[in-house]
């Protein structure tokens, strides 16, 4: 039962907001100025909005035309310089070395591609990123699958330079407990609370990588072909 007002916008879930901030801070630290960024699988532009907050050249791609339409609307104010393209991550319509950083956030596995197509998407990312440029990949996985994901990235055209854990497992656990009543106003507030997400993250951190559902891999395109 919804307790009045607008339906909750799930892009406001605090764990997602923190993840998007984490990625955009990381990209900001990696990228030169001005940077050419590619956001693959941009969905409705929630992360793209964060990436566009710095004066960069951003291209955002999604397979879904409806998602691209929604992303364009979301970015209408404050997203100057963002170009939207409907495209498949396994067949990107860009030339070689066009970008400094490619972001595949909740990408390869979330897209539910078979292994061969995940490899193809990594090869495509390697092609469109300049030598010395970076890929930032996040994935929502069981902790037992983290090592395999890192190996998968390592097997592509990138060298893994850092692996980060987002310590958000407890947050997603709490979210699952309250899913049946997610439209209740106080539950919406709980889901949207960044301080609560930070607190749960501090507790989850005590469990190391097992306290995470999201892994973030930072990889660098080899400087020579």
Ligand X SMILES: C[S@@+](CC[C@H](N)C(=O)[O-])C[C@H]1O[C@@H](n2cnc3c(N)ncnc32)[C@H](O)[C@@H]1O
Rounded-to-integer distance, Cα 149 and Cα 215, Å: 9
Shortest Cβ distance from residue 147 to ligand X (Å)? 22
- Between 88 and 100, name the residue whose CB sits nearer to ligand X: 88
Residue 151 structure tokens:
């190996």
| Rounded to 5°, angle at Cα 192 from 187 and 198 | 110
If DSSP codes are grouped into helix, strand and coil, which group holds residue 157?
A: coil
Nearest to 141 by CA among 107, 190, 118, 175: 107
Shortest Cβ distance from residue 146 to ligand X (Å)? 17
- Between 28 and 207, name the residue whose CB sits nearer to ligand X: 28
- Between 2 and 50, name the residue whose CB sits nearer to ligand X: 50
Shortest Cβ distance from residue 89 to ligand X (Å)? 3
- Between 172 and 184, name the residue whose CB sits nearer to ligand X: 172
- Between 26 and 131, name the residue whose CB sits nearer to ligand X: 26
Shortest Cβ distance from residue 60 to ligand X (Å)? 9
Residues 6+ apart with CB under 8 A from 30: 100, 101, 134, 136, 218
Shortest Cβ distance from residue 193 to ligand X (Å)? 19
Residues that bind ligand X in the complex, under the rule CB under 6 A = 40-43, 46-47, 61-64, 67, 88-90, 105-106, 110-111
Cis before 126 (ω within 30) = no
CA distance to 65, 72, 96, 202, per residue, from 51 (Å): 20, 14, 22, 25
């Amino acid at each position: 039962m919804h307790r009045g007002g607008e339906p909750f916008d799930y892009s406001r879930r605090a764990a997602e907001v923190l993840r998007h901030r984490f990625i955009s801070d990381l990209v900001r630290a990696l990228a030169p100025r001005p940077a050419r960024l590619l956001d693959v699988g941009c969905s409705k532009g929630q992360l793209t909005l964060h990436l566009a907050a710095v004066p960069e050249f951003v291209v955002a791609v999604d397979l879904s035309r409806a998602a691209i339409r929604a992303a364009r609307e979301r970015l209408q104010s404050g997203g100057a310089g963002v170009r939207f393209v409907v495209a498949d991550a396994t067949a990107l319509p860009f030339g070689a070395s066009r970008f400094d950083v490619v972001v595949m956030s909740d990408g390869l596995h979330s897209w539910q591609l078979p292994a061969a197509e995940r490899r193809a998407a990594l090869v495509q990312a390697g092609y469109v990123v300049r030598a010395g440029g970076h890929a930032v990949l996040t994935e929502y996985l069981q902790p037992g699958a983290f090592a395999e994901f890192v190996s998968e990235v390592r097997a592509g055209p990138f060298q893994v330079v850092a692996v980060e854990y987002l310590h958000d497992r407890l947050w997603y656990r709490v979210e699952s407990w309250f899913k049946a009543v997610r439209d209740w106003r106080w539950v919406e507030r709980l889901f949207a609370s960044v301080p609560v997400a930070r607190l749960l993250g501090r507790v989850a951190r005590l469990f190391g990588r097992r306290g995470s559902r999201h892994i973030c891999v930072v990889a660098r395109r080899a400087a020579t072909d």
